[in-house]
């Protein structure tokens, strides 16, 4: 009986040791965050009311969503964007610390007019990119699109939620 007990303790000790060693060498798999269409957004020229672009968008509204945004994603399709919606209209500042691809960050007031833009924001850069005026919304799109669309201060957005 005593020999059986000692053998069981030794075997258990060896197995536990093996298990811990295995866990230490395991790679942690992380699932890539993918785009989820939650609505549509239209960008319009202020003077002519003509549509310059229509995007599928994700919304960032909760504290977690607004803090994370597009961080940890590898890319975004050119017809996609993320719209941040804040409770208060005030000066905002974004940064690219954990964002892996370049963005145009478009600051928008409560009247849904563009008040400023941070164009071609560099990936992984912790530098603060503040708005020039109070903003209630912030739209993030791929870098270069605001120039391609000819966006200017005063241009407008409209958006709807997918049901």
Q: List, for residues 73-93, the tens digit of each pLDDT value.
A: 999 999 999 999 999 999 999
Closest residue by Cα to residue 81 from 32, 35, 131: 35
pLDDT digits over 137-150, tens only?
Answer: 999 999 999 999 99
List the CATH code of the domain at 39-161.
Answer: 2.60.120.1140
* Contacts (Cβ under 8 Å, ≥6 apart) of 54: 40, 41, 42, 43, 79
Proportion of the chain above pLDDT 90, given as a percent = 78
Sequence-separated (6 or more) residues with CB below 8 Å from residue 63: none
CA distance 142 to 47: 24
pTM: 0.80
């Amino acid at each position: 009986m005593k020999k059986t007990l000692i053998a069981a303790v030794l075997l258990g000790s060896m197995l536990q040791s093996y298990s811990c060693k295995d866990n230490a060498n395991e790679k942690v798999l992380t699932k890539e965050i993918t785009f989820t269409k939650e609505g549509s957004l239209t960008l319009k020229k202020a003077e002519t009311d003509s549509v310059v672009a229509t995007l599928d968008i994700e919304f960032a509204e909760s504290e977690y969503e607004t803090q994370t945004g597009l961080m940890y994603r590898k890319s975004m399709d050119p017809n996609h964007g993320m719209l941040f919606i804040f409770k208060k209209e005030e000066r905002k500042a974004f940064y690219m610390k954990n964002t892996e691809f370049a963005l145009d960050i478009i600051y928008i007031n409560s009247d849904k007019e563009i008040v400023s833009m941070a164009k071609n924001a560099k990936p992984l850069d912790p530098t603060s990119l503040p708005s020039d005026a109070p903003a209630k919304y912030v739209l993030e799109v791929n870098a270069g699109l605001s120039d391609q669309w000819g966006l200017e201060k005063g241009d407008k957005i409209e958006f709807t939620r997918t049901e």
